[in-house]
Amino acid sequence: MDRTTAQERLSQALARIEDLAGEGAKAVLTVYREAAQAAAEASDARARTGTSLGPLDGVIVTIKDLFDVAGEVTRAGSRLLASEGHVAARDAVVVQRLRAAGAVIVGKTNMSEFAFTGVGANPHYGTPGNPADRERVPGGSSAGAGVAVADGMCEIAIGSDTGGSVRIPASLCGIVGFKPSKQRVSTEGAFPLSYSLDSIGPLANTVAQCAATDAALSGETFRTLDAAPLAGLRFGVAQGLPLENLDDTVGRRFPEALDRLEKAGARLSYEKLPLFEDMIALQGQTSILVAEAYAVHGARMKTRGAEVDAIVAGRLSRGADIAAHDYVNAVRARNALIAAMDERLRDIDVLVLPATAIVAPRFDEIVEPKAFMQRNAMLLRNTTIGNFFDLCGVSLPLPRDGHLPIGLMLLARNGHDRQLLRIAAGVERLFS
């Protein structure tokens, strides 16, 4: 971490947020100037006495707009929720853990309404432009988080990931995004989208920052992350669905990345996984995500649905037609597929695939609802594999070389988070 004082780095972050020529007004919806200043001063005071609360002490952090902060209404990117006026009684567990670790929480970041698209667009609060090209979307649903890290408004951002909402903005904005195993980080105090699929993870500039944050959020004792040597590691290159209809940039850069991994000594195997087809078939019959999202928002949709982003409302409304027995059967079928995938990956260290099949779409490419949904599907397609099969995953930025950002995604078995981060650090070092 940067060794300048917390107050100096907070000042720099606030300047980026408040720069009228930047994206701060759209990326960071709430700024905690006074509380952040107090936290930074306390961190610097500890540093002067040679004490520390850990690797996040004094680090400038943002939190997604769906995390409870005591005394505030939790908006989840929605003006409807903002108007309902339900004030949080206490901080979300992840916020409590950040404070205990000495993190300086500077603000709450913008997001897709209810966290329900991978594009990152928000018609209520505006959509921040992608740091690589302001005419393009940032990816979502943790849209403000990706922009905040890439634009220097914070050092680490905390997002949620239900179908890729950490890894998609990481991929499109050229940073690192880590989705832990679902059970690893408490979702208490995080406004839900899907009880079965929601997970919470960091976006940052390095794997080491993500590892330090993950330790704090999960309540683990921090241990320095050692990059795994790549020679001899088993990288399973996912075939089929994840490689279909890649755009020109991703289609060219992904094979180049595989070539570099192989030259570094990684053992590549090309894995056909019919379980992907089983996933698509089950999702086509009954969407667990949509059913659970409608359970959260059904009553709200009946009375005030017109106030919700039309794209989000359209997706939510499909939940009204899902029968209870179909939902229960889908959950049971998914559990069987999770067990089958876990067994299938037993002899593979990580699956490797493009994080997103396409680069960030331009804003003018998502104006029409049909075009929006097509690009939304392409952004979510690969990342959602990690959520459906209850895996842990990370998106790593590939070298830009004059191109738009894209992410290389590594997926590992549930509970293998630490080993995944070690491997990710090794891959990061290779591409740095």
The residues annotated as belonging to the active site are 64, 141, 165
Residue 77, H or E segment = none
| Residue position matching structure tokens 């949620």 | 160
Structural tokens at position 279: 């996933």
d(CA 177, CA 72): 27
Q: At what angle do helices 324-344 and 275-285 cross, to 10 degrees?
A: 170
H helix or E strand, kind and range, residue 356? none
Hey, what are 191's tokens? 């406004």
Nearest CA to 193 out of 129, 111, 128 is that of: 111
Q: Quick one: 5 exposed, middle or buried, by C-beta within 10 A (0-12, 13-18, 19+)?
A: middle
How far apart, in Å, are the Cα atoms of 322 and each of 289, 290, 312, 317, 374?
Answer: 11, 9, 17, 10, 23
Nearest to 122 by CA among 105, 137, 102, 133: 137
Distance between CA atoms of residues 379 and 407, nearest Å: 11
295-to-48, 64, 301 alpha-carbon distances in Å: 50, 22, 10
Pair 247, 356: CB distance under 8 Å: no
For residues 72 and 87, give the distance between their C-alpha atoms in angstroms, rounded to a whole number: 5
